[in-house]
Amino acid sequence: MRKFGIFTESPRLTVPVSERDHAEGPATAPITLVEYGDYECPFCGAAYPVVKRLQKSLGKNLRFVFRNFPLTNAHPHALMAAEAAEAAAILGKFWPMHDIIYERQYRITSEALAAWAHELGLDDAKLQEALGHPEIDKRIKEDRSSGIRSGVNGTPTFFINGVRYDGPPDYESLLAALEAQMKEAV
């Protein structure tokens, strides 16, 4: 990246992807796409089907990681949605809850989140117990903190193999960036 005649390095992911992360795709994939996202953000909602399409197109060549970055000042239901997704994670259903929240993002309420969890087969009592788990708040704060340290200041923010992607979040642009990185990785 060139800025005002000075070469600068793109911001990098300060906390590497690890076992603690929510990841889809093989850990051995040549490309890792990390998203810092907010469940109520309309731009994240628009990026959701793009990521799904990229996953389908790239298959085993892509590992997708989601980290929470709720923008609570702008999105009053974002934290509640992140907590619901993390509670579902404790019960082994992070990705189904993640998906249903994005697919129905304009209807997020506490009642809707409970209904969606029930729809996914999560037991109400176990979900309430999971929601009270201190790990949820800790994880969301850790994700947010790692995002801030990595230069995230809005959502969605993507990192491709640890380097922030500053291009448009449409399918063609992201696919081109991912494929270029895949060629470098080989």
CA-CA distance, 159 to 91, in Å (whole number)?
Answer: 28
- Work out the mean pLDDT of the chain and round it to a whole number: 94
Which bin fits 92, alpha (ψ -120 to 50), beta or left (φ > 0)?
left
Mean predicted confidence (pLDDT) in 55-78: 97
Report which secondary-structure segment, H or E, holds 6: strand 6-7
**Domain contains 167:** yes
- The residue assigned the tokens 């990390």 is 34
pLDDT greater than 80 at residue 6 = no
Q: How far is CA 19 from the centre of its chain?
A: 15
Its domain, for residue 108, covers: 30-185
CA-CA distance, 59 to 80, in Å (whole number)?
Answer: 31
Residue type, 82: A
What does the DSSP 8-state code read for residue 132?
Answer: T
pLDDT, one tens digit per residue, over 98-125 is 999 999 999 999 999 999 999 999 998 9
**Domain contains 2:** no
pLDDT greater than 50 at residue 1 = no
pTM attached to this predicted model: 0.94
Question: In a 3-state reduction of DSSP, which class is residue 98?
Answer: helix
pLDDT for position 135: 94
**Domain contains 13:** no
**Domain contains 11:** no
pLDDT for position 19: 95
Report which secondary-structure segment, H or E, holds 155: none
| Domain of residue 133, CATH code | 3.40.30.10
pLDDT greater than 50 at residue 155 = yes
For the chain, what is the domain count? 1
Taking alpha carbons only, the member of 5, 156, 10, 129 closest to residue 70 is 156
pLDDT for position 8: 57
**Domain contains 19:** no
The string of DSSP codes covering 21-81 is: SEEES-TT-SEEEEEEE-TT-HHHHHHHHHHHHHHHHHGGGEEEEEEE---TTT-TTHHHH
pLDDT for position 111: 95
Tally of CB atoms within 10 A around 92: 9
The token pair at 51 is 């990521």
With a pLDDT cut of 70, the percent of the chain lying above it is 95
**Domain contains 14:** no
CA-CA distance, 58 to 31, in Å (whole number)?
Answer: 9
pLDDT for position 4: 46
